[in-house]
């Protein structure tokens, strides 16, 4: 059989960090070990029943067996606008300011292709979601990293960006609640972002994947709630986390009309939108009962408390995340993020994600997902305690 050489573009793509993590964990599990996987961001709870029932009903409708409109059904875009007005007080024009996406990840990669030419610059958070890098590499663009440090609450310092980079940058990724750090954005920070982006004509792409997941009664802010945000930015919202719909691959981009038009134009050449029944179910999710969302957040908060309190009890000095379903934990002295993650997998059979996989400033941390139930999280704490790496509190 002939072997056809992949393109240089494919060869240049960053290594898929999570694929390697899954393979490593799978190899340990294949040896017969009971592995607690806290290394991924895959919701472990089912999609609410009323959303599933909406899909089932819509799937038997022959109208949904045809190609949907290229840019998605009007009813879903109108539902998005109603949802954003209800949740954030943001007004949207459904046909001009909403683009239906085949998952949030798709939109994050697509928007770079829409806005950047080879050699153009994007400002990227470090640590950050690795697929930002993938979209930039596909566009043959370049990255200027924005360090996220604990001292600044894991918010970038625009004052530290060189004048040359600020002048050259065309696009900036932000993500709050943040993956991997669990940080949340403040209104002051978003106002500063609008000003910085306006001063330098930068398009802000706010990845709002964990929009619903804020703790201690604090609801995460939408970037578009900030006056002037729609002038220079868009927000990408996925139903994956809010409604436990990760496998459904449905999301949307909203905001600046010129960027939305570019996204729609690119997708005109790639897809014929989503299966109509999925669009109907997405409308049901956005406009139907929101009690399951509130229950979801309460469940994650209970898990967060079990994990953080348990780790503090065994002597690991950690901070509780304020949003997302991740905890960002400093590794003990003498370890790198990778060597510590390897130790936990090999000796405790607990999977965590090494921080270096999220960028250079991720070194010194591991990311833990709150995607197992409270009993498994408590067991993970006990397995880590048995390694005797920390001095228990009170001793």
| Tens-place pLDDT, residues 48-59 | 999 999 999 999
Q: What is the pLDDT of residues 101-130, one digit of tens each?
A: 999 999 999 999 999 999 999 999 999 999
d(CA 259, CA 263): 6
Q: Cα angle at 326 between 324 and 329, to 5 degrees?
A: 135
pTM for the predicted model, two decimal places: 0.95
Asked if the model's pLDDT at residue 395 lies above 60, the reply is no
* 18 pLDDT higher than 80: no
Judged against a pLDDT cut of 70, whether residue 198 lies above it is answered with yes
Please state the domain extents for the chain: 9-45+291-385, 49-287
Going by pLDDT thresholds of 50, 70 and 90, the confidence category of residue 16 is confident
Q: What is 49-287's CATH number, 3.40.1160.10, 1.10.10.10, 3.40.640.10, 1.20.140.10?
A: 3.40.640.10
Which residues, in sequence order, are CB contacts of 214 under 8 Å at separation 6+? 177, 184, 220, 297, 322, 323
Q: Report the residue count for the chain.
A: 395
> Over the stretch 214-225, which tens digit does the pLDDT of each residue have?
999 999 999 999
**How buried is residue 336: exposed, middle or buried, by Cβ count under 10 Å (0-12/13-18/19+)?**
middle
> What would the two tokens of residue 195 be?
């000003």
pLDDT score for 394 = 56
pLDDT digits (tens, 9 = 90+) for 154-178: 999 999 999 999 999 999 999 999 9
Residues 44-95 have pLDDT tens digits of 899 999 999 999 999 999 999 999 999 999 999 999 999 999 999 999 999 9
Structure confidence by residue, pLDDT tens digits, 246-296: 999 999 999 999 999 999 999 999 998 999 999 999 999 999 999 999 999
Residues 299-329: pLDDT tens digits? 999 999 999 999 999 999 999 999 999 999 9
For 271, residues 6+ apart whose C-beta sits below 8 A from its C-beta are 70, 102
- Residue with the bigger pLDDT between 40 and 377: it is 377
Among 19-33, 187-201, 362-376, the range scoring the smallest mean pLDDT is 19-33
Burial class (CB in 10 A: 0-12, 13-18, 19+), 248: buried
What is the 3-state secondary structure of 196-229? Answer: HHHHHCCEEEEECCCCCCECCCCCCCCHHHCCCH
Instruction: Please give the CATH topology (third level) of the domain spanning 9-45+291-385.
Output: 3.90.1150
Owner of token pair 């065994």: 314
Note the Cα 85 to chain centre separation in Å: 22
């Amino acid at each position: 059989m002939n072997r056809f050489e992949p393109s240089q573009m494919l060869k240049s793509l960053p290594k898929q960090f999570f694929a390697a993590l899954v393979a490593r964990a799978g190899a340990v599990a294949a040896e017969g070990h009971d592995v607690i996987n806290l290394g991924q961001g895959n919701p472990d709870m089912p999609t609410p029943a009323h959303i599933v029932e909406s899909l089932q009903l819509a799937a038997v409708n022959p109208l949904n067996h045809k190609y949907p409109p290229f840019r998605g059904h009007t009813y879903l875009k109108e539902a998005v606008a109603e949802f954003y007005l209800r949740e954030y007080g943001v007004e949207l024009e459904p046909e001009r300011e909403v683009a239906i996406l085949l998952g949030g990840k798709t939109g994050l990669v697509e928007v770079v292709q829409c806005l950047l030419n080879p050699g153009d610059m994007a400002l990227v958070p470090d640590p950050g979601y690795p697929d930002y890098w993938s979209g930039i590499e596909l566009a043959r663009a370049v990255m200027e990293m924005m360090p996220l440090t604990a001292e600044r609450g894991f918010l970038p310092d625009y004052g530290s960006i060189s004048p040359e980079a600020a002048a050259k940058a065309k696009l900036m990724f932000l993500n709050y609640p943040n993956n991997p750090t669990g940080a949340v954005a403040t209104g002051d920070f978003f106002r500063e972002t609008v000003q910085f982006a306006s001063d330098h004509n930068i398009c802000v792409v706010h990845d709002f994947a964990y929009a619903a997941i804020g703790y201690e009664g604090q609801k995460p802010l939408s970037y578009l709630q900030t006056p002037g945000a729609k002038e220079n930015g868009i927000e990408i919202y996925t139903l994956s986390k809010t409604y436990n719909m990760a496998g459904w691959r449905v999301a949307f981009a909203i905001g600046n009309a010129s960027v939305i038009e570019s996204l729609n134009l690119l997708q005109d050449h790639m897809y014929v939108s989503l299966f109509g029944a999925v669009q109907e179910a997405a409308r049901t999710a956005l406009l139907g009962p929101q009690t399951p969302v509130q229950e979801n957040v309460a469940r994650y908060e209970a898990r967060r408390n079990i994990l953080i309190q348990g780790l503090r009890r065994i002597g690991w000095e950690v901070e509780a995340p304020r949003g997302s379903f991740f905890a960002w934990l400093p590794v003990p002295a003498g370890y790198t993020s990778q060597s510590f993650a390897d130790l936990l997998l090999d000796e405790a059979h607990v999977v965590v994600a090494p921080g270096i996989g999220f960028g250079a400033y991720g070194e010194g941390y591991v990311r833990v997902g709150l995607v197992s139930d409270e009993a498994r999280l408590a067991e993970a704490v006990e397995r880590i305690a048995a390694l005797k790496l920390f001095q228990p509190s009170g001793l």
